[in-house]
Structure 1
Amino acid sequence: MSSLLPASIVGSLPKPSWLAEPEKLWSPWKLDGDALVEGKQDALRAAVQEQQHRGIDVVSDGEQTRQHFVTTFIEHLSGVDFEQRETVRIRDRYDASVPSVVGAVSRERPVFVDDAAFLRSQTDRPIKWALPGPMTMVDTLYDRHYRSREKLAWEFAAILNAEARELEAAGVDVIQFDEPAFNVFHDEVRDWGVAALERAAEGLRAETVVHICYGYGIKANNDWKATLGAEWRQYEQSFPLLQGSSIDTVSLESHHSHVPVELVELLRGKKVMLGAIDVASHEVETPEEVADTLRAALRHVDAELLVPSTNCGMAPLPRSVALGKLAALSAGAALLREELAAPPR
């Protein structure tokens, strides 16, 4: 485990082809019943082994036990009807058929705690677990009950906090909240988004992370990125607010994006998880490319606070590509680590 520049992925890894259809989001399971439970554990075990083998320092589950980073959590809550579906605009980008909130939302039992305990049993390295953030959960539903995005977000924040505390008790070292919606709804981020996120993370001793990206490498996201111009400055809205928040670490997209690296300066004093792997390309980065991306950020974040990472999840990628990118991430971090440890000439 490297204490300087510890490599960590954002979230998902591709699932094995015997568990779900490869290179596809929302892919249905190929197993059911006890075979599915066992298959998910086998896939999680493999994801841990692949990360360790390729030098990843903070190990995650690769989201092997869930179909989707938001809806799998919501599926376990009461007050949400998956039969009553409506078409809504997701993150102001694309239309999707989503479930409806039909009553007060609540969590009857832990959602991911058993899976996290299993992850904990598979490795001695620090482990990370990702949860959807309150605003991104709200943006993935049709609300018939609260009729207020803010009210629903605060309900979800309390539910997430209960889940996060139990994940921490199960041995999770790092709890990440995924908030891609923070790159779209800037007024809401300012008015209640960051506060709801802090509520979700309240009282945790585990390291807390917020991940804000420009989305998976799927067509709807890539088409949206093409409209954003030569410089992507969306982070300029959220970073100053997060710099003053109780969240420990901010995770952002960097490599092959049009995000000016100097925006990282707005987070000065926070830990920064920097995306040095492009998840929208099948081309595997070289260690030198990864090191270059990380090195450019060092003008704006102290090396002790920099965590090399991926831009987003890698679920839609071919498995061989994703594993190659894992190796490139850790090798690039190692290159820069050696450089920083070398005596000045």
Structure 2
Amino acid sequence: MKKLLPTSTAGSLPKPAWLAQPETLWSPWKLQGDELTEGKHDALRLSLQEQRHAGIDIVSDGEQTRQHFVTTFIEHLSGVDFEKRETVRIRDRYDASVPTVVGAVARRKPVFVEDATFLRQHTRQPIKWALPGPMTMIDTLYNNHYKSREKLAWEFARILNEEARELQAAGVDIIQFDEPAFNVFFDEVNDWGVATLERAIEGLECETAVHICYGYGIKANTDWKKTLGSAWRQYEEAFPKLQKSNIDMVSLECHNSRVPMELIELIRGKKVMVGAIDVATHAIETPEEVADTLRKALQFVDADKLYPCTNCGMAPLPRRVARGKLNALSAGAAIVRRELQE
């Protein structure tokens, strides 16, 4: 029998101090060559063990083998020049120096398939693997070749589909596409954003998810959140179209956010990964706080479609805090599971 309220994380978990600088987002590697490969595998095993120990049901690699949730994928593609950099505004929030698209983009070889195979060999639990979504990918580049954001997004969707098919063959159960850009570029989401996402999942038989958050707990994101007012209704723009799409699951930010819970009603019928852990604070939630978020969500999503999750990745947090939050997520889900089964 399938477990009710299976828990998972949105993606990244903190890396060990011997692999990268702690509490730093997108920190450079401390190892090189074969030592780096081995170090990444050790970190992946450790991350898996911590998830298991905390009682997480759907496990991931904790993004231990990648430096950045978008650019690590792009680094493996041809047509992008990482030496030629331009400053662009990321998600209308902050400036960043980014690589330039100088020619036709293509995937020379699989990017994460080896890592996913390694993870699959180490667990019998369901595995979730995160990939950047097409719209979030184009938002992290200077597009000097295609000129049109939409054209580049369709190219990335095709490439992501190639990777996703191979991840599925490697034994991945859920492929998640990270699309924080869906909370910003509303016209594009409806014009072609959801359509390119559907292209990325074409032909897949494993489950597919889209993760739409308000970002990591970094200052640029927390400052932006302060400007959003008392009700964050951004999901209202994308959810109707996602509800009609072929995507199986939608992952969203709930706990400590100002997202009105009733917006979940707009994706009725989909599986919903409800973010019940705030990644923008070092305060560790109590199991009861997690349970409370899940109970509220249950008014708008059927229990068999509710997947307790974190709001976003936890890479910038201290490991002790991330561990505490994972434990709280499991314990909170267990409380509500018991209530539902009484």
The aligned counterpart of 2:205 is 205
1:155 counterpart = 2:139 = no
1:272-322 superposed Cα distances (whole Å, 9 cap, x missing partner): 000000000000000000000000011100000000000000000001000
- 2:291 match: secondary structure: helix
- 2:9 match: secondary structure: coil
1:233 counterpart = 2:208 = no
The aligned counterpart of 2:33 is 33
Structure 2 distance, partners of 1:262, 1:122, is: 39
Alpha-carbon shift at residue 2 of structure 1 (Å): 6.1
Asked if the contact 1:24/1:315 (under 8 Å) is kept, the reply is yes
Displaced runs of 4 or more, over 3 A: none
1:134-170 superposed Cα distances (whole Å, 9 cap, x missing partner): 0000000000100000000000000000000000000
Letter in 1 for 2:136: T
Structure 2 distance, partners of 1:63, 1:184, is: 24
- 1:177 match: secondary structure: strand
- 2:272 match: secondary structure: strand
1:256 counterpart = 2:256 = yes
Alpha-carbon shift at residue 122 of structure 1 (Å): 0.9
Output the TM-score relative to the length of structure 2. 0.99
- Which aligned pairs between 1:47-58 and structure 2 lie closer than 5 A? 47-58=47-58
The aligned counterpart of 1:328 is 328
1:44 counterpart = 2:44 = yes
- 1:59 match: secondary structure: coil
The aligned counterpart of 2:112 is 112
The aligned counterpart of 2:67 is 67
Alpha-carbon shift at residue 25 of structure 1 (Å): 1.2
Letter in 2 for 1:96: A
Structure 2 distance, partners of 1:132, 1:84, is: 22
Structure 1 distance, partners of 2:32, 2:130, is: 24
Alpha-carbon shift at residue 26 of structure 1 (Å): 1.6
- 2:208 match: secondary structure: strand
Letter in 1 for 2:282: H
**Tell me, which stretches of 5 or more residues in structure 2 are unaligned?**
none
1:311 counterpart = 2:315 = no
1:89 counterpart = 2:89 = yes
Alpha-carbon shift at residue 3 of structure 1 (Å): 1.4
1:112-142 superposed Cα distances (whole Å, 9 cap, x missing partner): 0000000001111000100000000000000
Structure 2 distance, partners of 1:127, 1:133, is: 19
Structure 1 distance, partners of 2:142, 2:107, is: 18
Structure 2 distance, partners of 1:56, 1:117, is: 20
1:195 counterpart = 2:211 = no
1:130 counterpart = 2:112 = no
Asked if the contact 1:27/1:67 (under 8 Å) is kept, the reply is yes
Q: What CA RMSD, in Å, does the superposition of the two structures yield over aligned residues?
A: 0.7
1:30-71 superposed Cα distances (whole Å, 9 cap, x missing partner): 000100000000000000000001100000000000000000
1:167 counterpart = 2:193 = no
The aligned counterpart of 2:18 is 18
Structure 1 distance, partners of 2:131, 2:186, is: 21
- 1:328 match: secondary structure: helix
- 1:95 match: secondary structure: strand
Output the TM-score relative to the length of structure 1. 0.99
The aligned counterpart of 2:101 is 101
The aligned counterpart of 1:341 is 341
**Tell me, which stretches of 5 or more residues in structure 1 are unaligned?**
none
- 1:290 match: secondary structure: helix
Structure 1 distance, partners of 2:310, 2:207, is: 18
Asked if the contact 1:2/1:57 (under 8 Å) is kept, the reply is no
- Which aligned pairs between 1:216-227 and structure 2 lie closer than 5 A? 216-227=216-227
Structure 2 distance, partners of 1:128, 1:210, is: 12
